[in-house]
Structure 1
Amino acid sequence: MSDAREARLLLLGWNFRGASGPVRERIAFTTEEVREGLRRLLGKGLVSESVIVSTCHRSEIYGIAEGKGAGEELTRFISDWRGLEPDVLERAAFRRFGAEAARHLFRVAAGLDSMALGESEVLGQVRQALSIARETGSSRAVLHRLFESAVRAGKRVRTETEIGVHPLSIASIGVELANKVFGELAERTVLLLGAGETGTLFARHVLEAGVRNLKIANRTPEHAEHLASRIGAQAVPWETVARELPSADVVVGTTASPEPIVRRADVESAMRQRKGKAMFFLDLAMPPDIEPEVRGIYNVFAYDLDGLEEVAAENRRRRVREVPRVEEILEEELGRFLTWFGNLSVVPTVTDLKRRFEEIRDRELERLPAAERERVRPLADSIVAKLLHEPMRRLKNESDAARKLERLEAVRHLFDLDPD
């Protein structure tokens, strides 16, 4: 498409709300598959611009297309490419057009459409999607402007609100609580009990927090040694856990042992050797790895899963309270984009509408004899001009960008200005 005359912003997507895990897996794209998909979409002429956002929770195709059937054509394209039945894709898909497609992307970039409200990783994924599209040559004037605007909105949300400040994951909350006790964890020693999935996840979190001295103990020593070698930690024998306590500032239990591993007497002994210096215990296991009674020891800070869930629930409430301010920012930035996009579309739509009226005028005049036709033409021209004047004026002067786009879409639909 060489100009913006028939430019129509559309979104075809699948996410965790409407698509099952197996469907999302089938339509999740690697980076190279995104590049291939963009090349195919443009090569088939389905869109003139395209950006694909693909994560574990969503696959969304943004495009600038001609005509009314582009959404259905995109569904058939994905069906053929990924080997999924069209009706399966159709049931799980959602579509957005014009202002609503743009608004959806802004909400995605801000973390409002994520499973974890306000999560920040998705902003980087939106930025990466634009980068890939630019490399492929599939992002041009409209989508480049749209995605740049969405990224800018997402950055503002991060800096001007606290929607991403309070962690929601148990591991992140544990690290934050430990930071509150010690100020920072970089110089602290962390003893991790267990090398399974939960232990591995927590190990990554503390390393990201700057911890340099991480010790791992596991009943099966090979598991502790394997994890330690992968992440640059130190494996210690399971039977020495009690002897490791005096040197440990943070102790994390993740084994779900039938009996507690760390008992109150062990902690009392460790605190005497530490001369009362603070210890932080985080019990992520069920049944607990750490005796609940350690909470009664002076300068010992201990949290179990119930306590962490309470913090997580409060953090979720804090994030929800930030949503109105986030939406204000998004609507402000969205309005700027829609104003630009609307101005891009008003003149072509008005031109097409004028052309349509003139076609009708000419067809009707052709029914008249030549002499009468020339006599009536000035009157017909005047009627066309008067009929068009007010709609054109209203379209051009509409100050609400979203309403302007909606009216442009309505005009193009009502007067059949788009090709089939």
Structure 2
Amino acid sequence: MLICLTASHRNASFDLLERLSIGAPTAASRLVTDSDVLDGAVVLATCNRFEAYLDIAGDDRDSAVSATVDAVATASDLVPAEVLDSVSVLGGGDVVQHLFAVSSGLESVVVGETEISGQVRRALEDARANGTTTSDLERLFQEAAHTSRGVKTRTRIGAAGRSLVRLGLELASSRITDWAQTRVLLVGTGSYAATTIAALRDRGAENIQVFSPSGRAPWFAAKHDLVAATDLRRAIGSSDVVITCTSSEVPVVEPADLDDGQRRIVIDLGLPRNVDPDAAGVEGVELLDLETISIHAPIAELNAESEARQMVDDAVSRFRAQALEQSTTPALVAFRKHVFDILDDEIDRAKRRDADPESVEQTERALRHLVGVLLHRPSVRARELGRAGRGEEFVGALDALFGVHPEPEAELPSPIVPLAERTAPERAATDRADEADAS
């Protein structure tokens, strides 16, 4: 059984999300190894949400929730009750609906943001590396990725929504008369930094320095045609706008670094915060952090969002129908094996009775054709009953008529259409979406 624990900017403080973003991922591997109630877990912790997708060993949902809350709270130096009060628990079909919407950017601070699909993909990759995935979680996340690609390539939601980087710069633009004359300092050299450079240059910014707490500034500057800074305070002193986006777990910029009496805009895109919140009290400093940016997040174009949500709803319906249809697969496999075992016995008897190879071949061909015809209708009916949520009737009928039981541990085939079996346009769309996420 799959459940999801979720906390986001809608129901949790940024302080709590910040703490979870540090600790929750480190607790992911222990969630499964230290628990008797969890078969698998995928944990997603981003700048504005925390998600734990859990595959429960039995049906003890309360114990699974308690174990997960305790683990992530301990790892994040939080009180379990505080975490529990901030998360919503989803089960059943709501888990599918939620993940598909999240991965498509429909639940983000800025609707349609492009970063989230890559973050969801990396959460699954981390779970694989930690050995905490299961077949059900794999199917769920793979189909979520396929859905988000479709939303991105077939709707206008990407144009309607803007990334947090671009929204932060848009807010700053109301205070800046000419980006071409503005001196910018970028603190950080990760994927967010590359996105920030592109957004700055779109606005005409030319004078950009980069500083890296990890010492990667020279390499990053050479790659992006920037100026590398080696002294943070000196670089801040020669800048009008400071943008931070590092993965540091402690503030990189302190109030004292900004206290030079100069007017300056500071955009903190880091989570955890890269700028000490007290910097907002420094004279001349205007601090725009993620919480401030989220307050100004625009309402998406209604038509674009409506189209995207309809696509998500359709994908959820298909996923549920496939899951229901496959509920009869183990029983159908057992029935076909039962019938083919009988067929093989009859063919062996025919071979023993008749020494004429040609006659035996004709008999075998006729028997196999007959069995194929006889199996067709039960196979179709099994899928129909599964889609209608009546799979147990098919299983019960096989037991009553033939004494056939499905294998208890039968592995259901994946409902995901393999890339090789998708159409050329679908494969091309997948490739383009992957390239966009990687950038």
Written as runs of structure 1 = structure 2, the 5 A alignment for 1:172-191 is 172=166, 191=180
> Which residues of structure 2 form unaligned runs of 5+?
171-178, 212-216, 229-238, 243-260, 264-283, 285-295, 332-380, 392-439
CA-CA distance at 1:205 after TM superposition? 5.5
Q: State the Cα RMSD in Å.
A: 5.0
Query: Is this contact kept in 2: 1:109–1:122, CA < 8 A?
Result: yes
Query: Is this contact kept in 2: 1:142–1:341, CA < 8 A?
Result: no
CA distance in 1, matches of 2:164, 2:36: 47
Listed one character per residue, the Cα deviations across residues 111-136 of structure 1 (whole Å, up to 9, x for unaligned) are 11100011010000111111111222
Whether 1:67 and 2:59 are equivalent positions in the alignment is yes
Alpha-carbon spacing, 1:149–1:109, altered in 2? closer, same or farther (3 Å)? same
Match of 2:4 among 8, 11, 14: 11
Query: Is this contact kept in 1: 2:31–2:67, CA < 8 A?
Result: no
Query: Hey, what does 1:369 align to over in structure 2?
Result: none
CA distance in 1, matches of 2:164, 2:44: 27
Query: Hey, what does 1:334 align to over in structure 2?
Result: 316
Alpha-carbon spacing, 1:56–1:341, altered in 2? closer, same or farther (3 Å)? same
Whether 1:325 and 2:307 are equivalent positions in the alignment is yes
CA distance in 1, matches of 2:100, 2:323: 15
Query: Hey, what does 1:375 align to over in structure 2?
Result: none
CA distance in 2, matches of 1:215, 1:80: 45
Q: How many percent of aligned residue pairs carry the same amino acid?
A: 24
Listed one character per residue, the Cα deviations across residues 59-91 of structure 1 (whole Å, up to 9, x for unaligned) are 111111122322233223333443422321121
Query: Is this contact kept in 2: 1:175–1:205, CA < 8 A?
Result: no
Query: Hey, what does 1:194 align to over in structure 2?
Result: 183
Alpha-carbon spacing, 1:203–1:12, altered in 2? closer, same or farther (3 Å)? closer
Query: Hey, what does 1:271 align to over in structure 2?
Result: none
CA distance in 1, matches of 2:47, 2:168: 25
CA distance in 2, matches of 1:42, 1:136: 10
CA distance in 1, matches of 2:307, 2:79: 41
Written as runs of structure 1 = structure 2, the 5 A alignment for 1:302-317 is 316=298
Alpha-carbon spacing, 1:214–1:23, altered in 2? closer, same or farther (3 Å)? closer
Alpha-carbon spacing, 1:105–1:318, altered in 2? closer, same or farther (3 Å)? closer
> Which residues of structure 1 form unaligned runs of 5+?
1-7, 177-189, 223-227, 236-251, 259-286, 288-312, 350-392, 405-420
Indicate the SS of the match to 2:301. helix
Listed one character per residue, the Cα deviations across residues 162-206 of structure 1 (whole Å, up to 9, x for unaligned) are 101245469748999xxxxxxxxxxxxx734133679x9x99667
Listed one character per residue, the Cα deviations across residues 230-258 of structure 1 (whole Å, up to 9, x for unaligned) are 744369xxxxxxxxxxxxxxxx9869988
Query: Is this contact kept in 2: 1:16–1:58, CA < 8 A?
Result: yes
Alpha-carbon spacing, 1:341–1:137, altered in 2? closer, same or farther (3 Å)? farther
Q: How many residues align?
A: 268
CA distance in 2, matches of 1:45, 1:333: 33
CA-CA distance at 1:41 after TM superposition? 2.3
Match of 1:129 among 115, 123, 128: 123
Alpha-carbon spacing, 1:47–1:341, altered in 2? closer, same or farther (3 Å)? farther
Alpha-carbon spacing, 1:197–1:339, altered in 2? closer, same or farther (3 Å)? same
Alpha-carbon spacing, 1:348–1:234, altered in 2? closer, same or farther (3 Å)? closer
Alpha-carbon spacing, 1:339–1:35, altered in 2? closer, same or farther (3 Å)? farther
Indicate the SS of the match to 2:3. strand
Written as runs of structure 1 = structure 2, the 5 A alignment for 1:20-419 is 20-29=13-22, 34=25, 36-65=27-56, 66-68=58-60, 69=62, 70-166=64-160, 168=162, 172=166, 191-195=180-184, 207-208=197-198, 215-216=206-207, 231=221, 232-233=225-226, 316=298, 319-343=301-325, 345=327, 397=385, 399=387
CA distance in 2, matches of 1:169, 1:15: 17
Query: Hey, what does 2:291 align to over in structure 1?
Result: none
Indicate the SS of the match to 2:136. helix
CA distance in 2, matches of 1:207, 1:133: 31
CA-CA distance at 1:24 after TM superposition? 1.4
Query: Is this contact kept in 2: 1:47–1:63, CA < 8 A?
Result: yes
Alpha-carbon spacing, 1:87–1:325, altered in 2? closer, same or farther (3 Å)? same
Alpha-carbon spacing, 1:394–1:88, altered in 2? closer, same or farther (3 Å)? farther
Aligned residue identity for 2:4: L
CA distance in 2, matches of 1:203, 1:214: 14
Indicate the SS of the match to 1:123. helix
Query: Is this contact kept in 2: 1:14–1:60, CA < 8 A?
Result: yes
CA-CA distance at 1:97 after TM superposition? 0.2
CA distance in 1, matches of 2:208, 2:25: 42
Normalising by the residue count of structure 2, what TM-score does the alignment of the two structures yield? 0.49
CA distance in 1, matches of 2:299, 2:13: 27
CA-CA distance at 1:214 after TM superposition? 6.2
Alpha-carbon spacing, 1:399–1:125, altered in 2? closer, same or farther (3 Å)? same
Indicate the SS of the match to 1:156. helix
Aligned residue identity for 2:317: G
Query: Is this contact kept in 1: 2:28–2:41, CA < 8 A?
Result: no
CA distance in 2, matches of 1:109, 1:331: 13
CA-CA distance at 1:320 after TM superposition? 2.8
Query: Is this contact kept in 2: 1:194–1:253, CA < 8 A?
Result: yes
Indicate the SS of the match to 2:83. helix
CA distance in 2, matches of 1:333, 1:96: 18
CA distance in 2, matches of 1:22, 1:155: 31
Listed one character per residue, the Cα deviations across residues 16-35 of structure 1 (whole Å, up to 9, x for unaligned) are 111112221222247xx636
Aligned residue identity for 1:28: S
CA-CA distance at 1:155 after TM superposition? 0.2
